[in-house]
Chains A and B, each alone.
Chain A
Amino acid sequence: MKTLERKTVEQPQKQMATVATGQFATVEALATYKTTQANKMLAKVKNFDEFFTVDGMRK
């Protein structure tokens, strides 16, 4: 039980350090970080319908 409590506290600190240095322990962590950035960029796009259908196919 104590171990679980300690992990909960340490996890956010590790994630902050990862973002600050650009280093990632796993390929999954790297992909997740970069894809979150991509999702933010894609969410800003206001004119998808000029180029793509709703299912992401090129018009």
Chain B
Amino acid sequence: MDKPFYDFEIVGDAFRFHFKSIGAKIIPKIIIYQETDMPNYYNLVLADVLPDGSFDIYVKSNNGDMEKILATVVQTLMVFLAYHPKANICFSGSSETRTRLYQIVLAKEIEKVNPILDILGFRNNRLEAFETNKNYEGFVVSKKKSNI
């Protein structure tokens, strides 16, 4: 949470964010918090905006700024929860590798965010309190009840 992150633009009621990854290339990115079928559950989506205006979730940018991008995602998550404090945010990577990457980031950040956020991991069709040494298929993040 204290890592460098990109400036981002908040669109509407923080359901959408735009920022630019700046490395060897300049790559516009979009983060979307989209309602799911379940009340108060939102899905986090991160994608590249391609030159033709379309969006790509699988592209490997290799722009040398992965940590800064993920730090930016965390910052947008905090903004989204400030706008929507009762929201639960679920997410997984667009591939197993990316889900594992998210897990590594959460493992690094969990001590810092623990007073503010609840992080749950999804595995074997069940949610459980996130543990750093376990592999998960997805995650659910929400504000601690005491912070709403």
Q: Which residues of A contact B (CB under 8 A)?
A: 21-27, 30-31, 34-35, 37-39, 41-42, 44-48, 50-52, 55-59
Chain B residue nearest in CB terms to A41: B138
Asked if B86 is at the interface (CB within 8 A of a chain A CB), the reply is yes
Given contacts A21-B58, A31-B45, 12 further A-B contacts (CB under 8 A): A23-B55, A24-B57, A26-B55, A31-B34, A34-B45, A34-B57, A35-B34, A35-B45, A37-B92, A41-B90, A41-B137, A50-B127
* Chain A residue contacts of B32, Cβ below 8 A: 27, 30-31, 34
| CB of B75 closer than 8 Å to a CB of A | no
Does the CB pair A24–B43 fall under 8 Å?
Answer: no
Chain A residue nearest to B86 (CB atoms) is A57
A/B pair count, beta carbons within 8 Å: 99
Q: Give the residues in chain B near A52, CB-CB below 8 Å.
A: 88
Q: Give complex CA distance A34, B30 in Å.
A: 13
B62 in the interface (beta carbon within 8 A): no
